[in-house]
Amino acid sequence: APSLFGTVEPFAGDPILSLNIAFQGDPRTEKVNLTIGIYMDGAGKVPVLPSVKAAADKLGFGVRSYIPMEGLPEYRRLVQELVFGKAHQVLAEKRVATIQSVGGTGALSVAADFLAKHAPGRAVYVSDPTWDNHHGLFQRAGFETKTYPYWDGATRTLRFDDMLKTLEEAPAGSIVIVQPVCHNPTGVDLSRAQQDALTDLLIEKKHIAVFDMAYQGFADGLEEDAGFVRRFADRTSSFLVANSFSKNFSLYGERCGGLSVVCTAADEADRVLGQLKLVVRRSYSNPPTTGGLLIATVLGDPALRAQWEAEVADMRVRMKDMREKLAAEVKKLSNEIDVGFITQQRGMFSYTGLSKPQVVQMRDKDGVYLVESGRMCVAGLTDANVAAVAKSLVAARAA
Ligand code: PLP
């Protein structure tokens, strides 16, 4: 008899995760992995942040009972303060409903389910290009996703006017996903003036902003990077912020993040929190304990927090330094390549503008792995590999 699941279609997998499997299997010792969005230190290792290790030692391993559907109260308060700033009026007025989420992905997934119920039938606009799961998560929740122009391949800059035009022409009340800092995959962010202009437009059109902040602290600083979201909250409400601790705590596998919904009044925020809890209860019931305790301990202890802030600064500075070194190495080899984009782009990623055949050449000839879109993770660069990466890049550009 035919098997019930005999005709199940294969899953194509995630192209970036597949590339990582190919990388692991590559026997060349000089290979360099610049694909996945994971921060690596100067020795090419994923770090254990000393502040997090200290928190783990302090906590030890105790009872792991269920925590509330919305997460640990301390964690949620600390998320709010990190995202909005301690003194923000939205917190004083208790207008923000925040849950501890299962990473940034879990925050967006709950956001999509919440919006599917309470703001159904709207179009969801994401940047072109974007983190691919933006499409997937919102489609899974029943939305149709559309794109707004973002990246201009010819100039390696932002298509800001086209972006505004598309969002102007979008039906009023559309859902707009915005990465406020360290845009994945391009590394190109809006300037302060562009942020203000986008804010005006989103308010005027009554669009629902969903900020996806996965890299807070990797551009200019923890406070600075939240500026766009905080200024937005100064001016309006009824929007969402997903934040992730995967990168800035180097706690990828512990699945820690937050989802905050900014409401117009405290009683509304209470009811919204209830609806977020309902979504959580019906999907995974409650968030993970260990990661939640680790993050609440670091953020809540003044000494550990100061240590963590310095560690985030180290990661940020190292990535900026590697951008400068890569640009300098490329310049040594070729005067024809304008390297300005490498240092101007921010965060973990650089969209290089390399074509797919050029990326394939770098991988096949030199063992330098980029994503086929031309995205490079600058956090994979080290003093030991940056010259070889520059050489491979220049050769690919000439091919
Ligand atoms: N959003 C963006 C833009 C990302 O780049 C990522 C991770 O790569 C996420 C969300 C998801 O983060 P997490 O690993 O915390 O689920």
| CA 214 to centroid of ligand 1, rounded, Å | 5
Position 25 scores a pLDDT of 95
Structure tokens at 36: 């996945």
Q: What is d(CA 182, CA 200) in angstroms, rounded to the nearest whole number?
A: 21
Q: Is residue 157 a contact partner of residue 191, using CB atoms and an 8 Å limit? A: no
Position 240 scores a pLDDT of 98
Q: Whose CA is nearest to atom 10 of ligand 1?
A: 104
Give me the phi and psi of 238, to 5 degrees please: 60, 55
Judge if the beta carbon of residue 212 lies within 6 A of ligand 1.
Answer: yes
Q: Is residue 66 a contact partner of residue 286, using CB atoms and an 8 Å limit? A: yes
Position 18 scores a pLDDT of 84
Q: Whose CA is nearest to atom 1 of ligand 1?
A: 214
Across-strand partners of 211?
A: 178, 241
Q: What is d(CA 182, CA 94) in angstroms, rounded to the nearest whole number?
A: 29
Q: Which of 215, 223, 249 is nearest to 50 (CA)?
A: 249
Judge if the beta carbon of residue 347 lies within 6 A of ligand 1.
Answer: no
What confidence tier does 342 reach under pLDDT thresholds 50, 70, 90?
A: very high
| CA 154 to centroid of ligand 1, rounded, Å | 27
| CA 174 to centroid of ligand 1, rounded, Å | 22
For a pLDDT cut of 70, what percent of the chain falls above it? 100
Q: Which of 358, 315, 363 is nearest to 39 (CA)?
A: 315
Domains of the chain and any CATH numbers: 15-48+309-398 (3.90.1150.10), 53-304 (3.40.640.10)
Residue 285 has pLDDT above 90, yes or no: yes
Report pLDDT digits (tens) over 107-158: 999 999 999 999 999 999 999 999 999 999 999 999 999 999 999 988 889 9
Position 2 scores a pLDDT of 86
Secondary structure, 3-state, 294-319: HHHHHHHCHHHHHHHHHHHHHHHHHH
Judge if the beta carbon of residue 180 lies within 6 A of ligand 1.
Answer: no
Position 169 scores a pLDDT of 98
Position 378 scores a pLDDT of 97
Give me the phi and psi of 171, to 5 degrees please: -55, 140
Q: What is d(CA 186, CA 131) in angstroms, rounded to the nearest whole number?
A: 10
Position 42 scores a pLDDT of 96
Q: Which of 244, 256, 295 to mutate to test the pocket of ligand 1 (most atoms within 8 A of CB)?
A: 244
Burial degree of 66 (CB within 10 A; 0-12, 13-18, 19+)? exposed
What confidence tier does 284 reach under pLDDT thresholds 50, 70, 90?
A: very high
Mean pLDDT over 370-384 rounds to 96
Structure tokens at 355: 């074509």
For a pLDDT cut of 90, what percent of the chain falls above it? 93
Mean pLDDT over 309-338 rounds to 96
User: Helix 289-300 and helix 50-59: axis angle, to 10°?
Assistant: 110
Report pLDDT digits (tens) over 78-89: 999 999 999 999
Residue 261 has pLDDT above 90, yes or no: yes
Catalytic residue, chosen from 131, 277, 308, 325, is: 131
> Which residues contact residue 159 at a Cβ distance below 8 angstroms, ignoring those fewer than 6 apart?
149, 150, 151, 152
Q: Is 131 a catalytic residue?
A: yes
Q: Are strands 257-262 and 349-351 parallel, antiparallel or unpaired?
A: unpaired
Element (H, E) at 271: helix 266-283
Q: Are strands 145-149 and 151-152 parallel, antiparallel or unpaired?
A: unpaired
Total residue length of the chain: 399
Position 151 scores a pLDDT of 96
Q: Is residue 232 a contact partner of residue 220, using CB atoms and an 8 Å limit? A: no
Q: Is residue 161 a contact partner of residue 190, using CB atoms and an 8 Å limit? A: no
Judge if the beta carbon of residue 244 lies within 6 A of ligand 1.
Answer: yes
Catalytic residue, chosen from 151, 189, 225, 247, is: 247
Amino acid at 133: N
Residue 105 has pLDDT above 90, yes or no: yes
Q: Which of 36, 102, 126, 184 to mutate to test the pocket of ligand 1 (most atoms within 8 A of CB)?
A: 184
Q: What is d(CA 354, CA 273) in angstroms, rounded to the nearest whole number?
A: 45
Q: Which of 17, 216, 246 to mutate to test the pocket of ligand 1 (most atoms within 8 A of CB)?
A: 246
With H, G, I as helix, E, B as strand and everything else as coil, classify residue 126: strand
Could you write out the DSSP letters of every residue in 58-125?
HH-S-------TT--HHHHHHHHHHHH-TT-HHHHTT-EEEEEESHHHHHHHHHHHHHHHHSTT--EE
Q: Whose CA is nearest to atom 12 of ligand 1?
A: 104
Catalytic residue, chosen from 113, 189, 212, 366, is: 212
| CA 189 to centroid of ligand 1, rounded, Å | 16
Mean pLDDT of the chain: 96
Q: Is 247 a catalytic residue?
A: yes
Q: Report the complex ipTM.
A: 0.99
Report pLDDT digits (tens) over 159-206: 999 999 999 999 999 999 999 999 999 999 999 999 999 999 999 999
Report pLDDT digits (tens) over 179-191: 999 999 999 999 9
Using the atom order of ligand 1, give the atom closest to the CA of residue 102. 16
| CA 104 to centroid of ligand 1, rounded, Å | 5
Q: Which of 40, 327, 338, 251 is nearest to 32 (CA)?
A: 40
